[in-house]
Structure 1
Amino acid sequence: MTKKRVYRIKFISQGKLYELFAREVGQSTMYGFVELGEIIFGEKSAMVVDPSEEHLKAEFAGVKRTYIPMHSILRIDEVNKEGINKITEVTNTEGNIAVFPSPLYTPGKDKK
């Protein structure tokens, strides 16, 4: 029996940091996108409810595949087991300004 791979994907969307666990990750046929399939949601008892995972479960309900812009992805890791999907606020604790992520192509720039 082969063990299915599990990936942890971290990306920024609408000013929030998303952390998702999925079984399929690959380059999309749409230029500039990464394709995620089989997003994993943990089955928990009714006693413990994580509001951020419940929000993600509702947001991705009925989604077979999702396409994330490549420049929004911060990190993709292959992990041993799935964890808790979550959304967190992006905070700048260092006081530095980061310009990441940036678009791959910016139209209108002059080539010299």
Structure 2
Amino acid sequence: MSKPLYKVTFLNHGRVYELYARRVGSSALWGFTEVAELVFDVRDGVLVDPTEERLRDEFGDTRALHLPMQSVVRIEEVEKKGAAAIRDAVTGETVVTPFPLPAKPRS
């Protein structure tokens, strides 16, 4: 039997983060939720998700996150991993923009 997978949505500096983790529970720190064993996509191909890369850069070496309970929006147990996201808390728009494509030459 495989470990459960959780989608954790929380607020951080005016942004909504969506991460995936294998372990979620009460923290030893009073008033905090512990999120550990973060799951990131491991891709060796040409296609790179900039949001996933940014999250991996920020949280890649993290053993456990201790999130204040009031910042946690939702914790869902899911069957499979979806796309991680960073969104603006007010508008809901994605914060990380994709790599810009070359502009069309002007005629």
Same fold (TM over 0.5): yes
Take 1:39 and 1:85, find their aligned partners in 2: how far apart are those partners? 11
Q: Deviations over 1:42-74 (max 9, x none)?
A: 122432111111111000121111111100000
**What CA distance in whole angstroms lies between the structure 2 residues aligned with 1:45 and 1:88?**
25
- CA separation in 2, counterparts of 1:82 and 1:92? 24
Query: TM-score scaled to structure 1, two decimals?
Result: 0.76
Specify the alignment match of 1:66 in structure 2: 65
Shift of residue 92, structure 1, vs aligned partner: 4.4
Contact map agreement 1:25 1:35 (CA 8 A) in 2: yes
- Read off the aligned partner of 2:67 and give its amino acid letter: I
Q: Provide the alpha-carbon RMSD of the alignment.
A: 1.4
Partner of 1:25: 24
| Structure 2 alignment gaps of length 5 or more | 93-107
How high is the TM-score relative to the length of structure 2?
0.80
How many residues are matched?
A: 92
Partner of 1:87: 86
CA separation in 2, counterparts of 1:31 and 1:38? 20
Aligned ranges for residues 1-112 of structure 1 at < 5 Å?
Answer: 2-92=1-91
Q: Which runs of 5+ in 1 are unaligned?
A: 94-112
